[in-house]
Each structure stands twice: as C-alpha cells, then as structure tokens.
Amino acid sequence: MPAATRTCLVTGAGRGIGRAVAQRLSAEGHRVALTARSTDQLGQVAATLPGPSLVLPADITVASAVDEVFAAVEAEWGAVDVLVANAGSGVSAKLADTTDEMWRGQLDLLLTAPFRCVRRAVPGMVERGFGRVVVVASIAAKRGEPYIAAYTAAKHGVLGLVRAAAAELASSGVTVNAVCPAYVDTPMTDVTVAAIAEKTGRSLAEARAALAARQPIGRLVTPEEVAEAVWLCAVNGAVTGQGINVDGGAVQS
C-alpha cells in the first residue's frame, strides 16, 4: 500500500482483533473509520488512535446499515480504500441442538454482512484501480470443528467469498484476502472459556490453559499478531485470494 494516507473501514472495531487492526492502520498514518454496535467501546478505541478516526455505531446485520456506514465515511473522507471485515461472534451447540435462529444469526453476521460490505466497497475500488479487502475469518474456515456447526459453515462460506472475489478482481488492482486465526486472547475467547468452565467444572484458568494447549505454540494468539497479518494483506499487492492462517501451527498449509 503506497505511503499516501488511505481511508480505512474496520468493522467489529470496538475490541479485540478489530481494535488491534485499527491501531495498526492508524499507526501507519491512515484514516480509520470504526464501526460496531457499542458506541462506548468505539469511543475508547478512537481515543487510542494517533491519527484521524470516525466513530460510526451500527449493527451491520441490518441490510441498510452497511450502506449508511459507507455513505458516512464517503461524506467525511471519500471512498474506502481498505476494508477490514472483522465483526463476529460465535455460538456453540451440538448439531442436533442448533436452532434455525442460531443458524441464521451466524450466517447473517459472519457471511452475509461481510458480503454486503465487500459488494459495497468493490465498485469504487475498481474504478480507482486500488483496493484492499481483508476478511477476518477463522481456522474454522479450513477444518470442521465440533459443536460450532453454524459458525464453521459461515466461516467456510466467507472464505469461498474471498476466493471468488479475488479471482474476479485480480487484474483490477483490488486484492481480497482472509486472515484465519485460531483462538485469540480476546473477549470472544473469554466467552468460550467461561462456557467450557461451566460445562466441564474446570476453573477459568484450567479452561483457558486447555484452549492454549490445543495450539502447537502452547498459547493463545495475540490480537496484535492477527493485526500484523491483516497489515501484510494491506501492503502487499501480490497477495490475493489467500486464507492466511494465524494459528500457531495448528493447520499447516
């Protein structure tokens, strides 16, 4: 990505990976628009950024919200150059106990919302001959995991979206990639730890240690390590159509 200041939009920017990505982009001198449902969390992230920021609270699972967020960025700074589709959450249940509501909720947030963001961003990027799209997926986009059928299906789907979009846009100056973390030390993982502890009777520390032990490096991934992979996708125009694992060696590719 050239040294000129770019306009970036990060979804799910209120905490965890989204926060770290926003901080990385801002530290490199770029304008960063932040969107998530929590106004308070977005304000806290904006206060940590060294460069210009926009706070745009929204629920991007609402169809009209995506266009409203993009329109707000365009009105203030112009078109989005770098889109990081990071918003996400997970639900856990046995396959037979996964309700239609749980299924729809995961697909809406993890697949349909990124699709709408990419669809909205791409025409302007193609017109300008430059764009970077990065979707924060999951290692669950690469392999099946028990008790998260809806989450895994959505993440497999969004990796397919990335690959199709990258193939279509390869000659346009627009790159499209996914970053696929394993368990990251974030509030989302805290929820998983609490659920494991409740179901197994383990302490929170024991449940966290069990998750860390599932990764060959023996620890949780940091949000900053994921943000570095996102940054690679932003700066390297020859990297496109990839699902970059940030998983401590759990899935070798």
User: What does the pLDDT look like over 38-79, one tens digit per residue?
Assistant: 999 999 999 999 999 999 999 999 999 999 999 999 999 999
Q: What is the mean pLDDT of the chain?
A: 95
Query: Within this chain, do residues 123 and 196 fall inside the same structural domain, yes or no?
Result: no
Nearest to 122 by CA among 112, 131, 134, 110: 131
What is the reported pLDDT for 3?
A: 59
The DSSP H or E segment spanning 42 is helix 39-48
Average pLDDT over every residue of 98-110: 98
Query: Within this chain, do residues 235 and 200 fall inside the same structural domain, yes or no?
Result: no
Query: Within this chain, do residues 192 and 238 fall inside the same structural domain, yes or no?
Result: no
In the block, tokens 């200041």 appear at 5
Residue 102 belongs to a domain: yes
Query: Within this chain, do residues 50 and 158 fall inside the same structural domain, yes or no?
Result: yes
* Percentage, residues of the chain above pLDDT 70: 99
Assign 28 to helix, strand or coil: coil
133 within 8 A of 179, measured Cβ to Cβ: no
Residue 197 belongs to a domain: yes
- The CATH number assigned to the domain holding 44 equals 3.40.50.720
Whole-model pTM?
0.94
Whether 87 shows a pLDDT value over 90: the answer reads yes
Average pLDDT over every residue of 76-84: 97
Average pLDDT over every residue of 162-174: 98
Query: Within this chain, do residues 59 and 122 fall inside the same structural domain, yes or no?
Result: yes
Whether 198 shows a pLDDT value over 90: the answer reads no
Distant-in-sequence contacts of 207-212, Cβ < 8 A, 24+ apart: 211/183, 212/183
Query: Within this chain, do residues 31 and 45 fall inside the same structural domain, yes or no?
Result: yes
What phi and psi, each to the nearest 5 degrees, are found at residue 135? -105, 125
Residue 51 belongs to a domain: yes
- Residues with a catalytic annotation lie at 151
Residue 253 belongs to a domain: no
Per the structure, the complete domain to which residue 126 belongs is given by 7-183+222-246
What is the reported pLDDT for 11?
A: 98
User: What does the pLDDT look like over 201-245, one tens digit per residue?
Assistant: 899 988 899 888 888 999 999 999 999 999 999 999 999 999 999
What is the reported pLDDT for 224?
A: 98
Query: Within this chain, do residues 202 and 233 fall inside the same structural domain, yes or no?
Result: no
- Per the structure, the count of domains in the chain is 2
186 within 8 A of 128, measured Cβ to Cβ: no
Which one has a higher pLDDT value, 118 or 191?
118
What is the reported pLDDT for 187?
A: 85
- Residue 225, CB-side half-sphere exposure with 13 Å CA sphere: 16
Whether 121 shows a pLDDT value over 80: the answer reads yes
Which one has a higher pLDDT value, 121 or 198?
121
Average pLDDT over every residue of 180-189: 90
What spatial distance separates the first Cα and last Cα of the chain, rounded to whole Å? 26
Residue 214 belongs to a domain: yes
Q: Report d(CA 184, CA 186) in Å as an integer.
A: 6
Residue 228 belongs to a domain: yes
Query: Within this chain, do residues 175 and 204 fall inside the same structural domain, yes or no?
Result: no
> Which residues have a Cβ under 8 Å from the Cβ of 168 and sit 6 or more positions away?
none
In the block, tokens 């959505």 appear at 154
Nearest to 20 by CA among 181, 224, 193, 172: 224
Query: Within this chain, do residues 127 and 149 fall inside the same structural domain, yes or no?
Result: yes
Query: Within this chain, do residues 214 and 235 fall inside the same structural domain, yes or no?
Result: no
Beta bridge partners of 82: 8, 132
What is the reported pLDDT for 2?
A: 59
Residue 2 belongs to a domain: no
Encoded tokens for 153: 């299906």
Query: Within this chain, do residues 61 and 92 fall inside the same structural domain, yes or no?
Result: yes
Query: Within this chain, do residues 84 and 190 fall inside the same structural domain, yes or no?
Result: no
Q: Report d(CA 229, CA 226) in Å as an integer.
A: 5
Residue 1 belongs to a domain: no
What is the reported pLDDT for 189?
A: 85
Strands (E), 163-204: 174-181
